[in-house]
A = this chain, B = another copy of it.
Amino acid sequence: MDLSLFHILEILGTIAFAISGALSAMNRRLDLFGIFIIAFVTSIGGGTLRDVLMGNTPVTWMENIIYIYLIGIVTTIAIIFRNKLYIFKKSLFLFDTIGLGVFTITGVEVGVQNDLNPIISVALGAMTGTFGGVIRDILCNEIPVIFRKEVIYATACLIGGVAFVILDRLGVKLDIIYITTSMTVILIRLVAVKYQISLPTFYLIRK
């Protein structure tokens, strides 16, 4: 088990997030430019926000150009085969979940490496995993889907992040932590979707 597996998962996640952004933009009937922008933002928005808040600038995608190419190619393919994508619906859902797990763990790791408070590290993980989708929804003029009553999503990130911090304190090897904690996020999300587990909402009684 080595880090290259983690990188493969990261690539699958990037692909899935880009496709999810492109589909969302096409659903909204945005034009070609809008589709590419939303695909990029969904894929790299969470990590970009984390980098900006951390002061890690220029942000990652400006210096690690490979993800830009990847998102560009994937989005082009998604546009061409837009009416066939439902065939891959299950694979896409799986990839999206993989992306959630992997992006979360890269986010937690940035916090841990910078010796930030464990709570902040966990928050950075959840931000990296989920805020691409939040920015996508804001640009599409919707209340971010993960804030509404919904099957558990961000909660899986938080649990995976806590697991990362604990295993790191216990001195577990980093590549084992990567795989086990990203799998934790992925499994929680898969189970939550299968059994439709969601967080409670708390609304106000109107007077």
Contacts and interface: CB of A to CB of B under 8 A. Distances in A.
Interface in A69-96: 79, 82-83, 86
A131 to B, nearest CB: 10
A148 B31 contact: yes
Interface in A5-49: 23, 25-35, 37-38, 48
B48 A59 contact: no
Given A83-B205, A199-B31, A201-B32, A139 B143 contact: yes
Contacts of A33: 146-147, 153-155, 199
Interface stretch (A101-109, A115-123, A187-195): A115-123
Q: How large is the interface on A (under 10, 10 to 19, 20 to 34, 35 or more residues)?
A: 35 or more
Interface of A: 23, 25-35, 37-38, 48, 52-55, 57-59, 61-63, 65, 68, 79, 82-83, 86, 114, 116-117, 119-120, 123, 134, 138-144, 146-150, 153-155, 198-205, 207
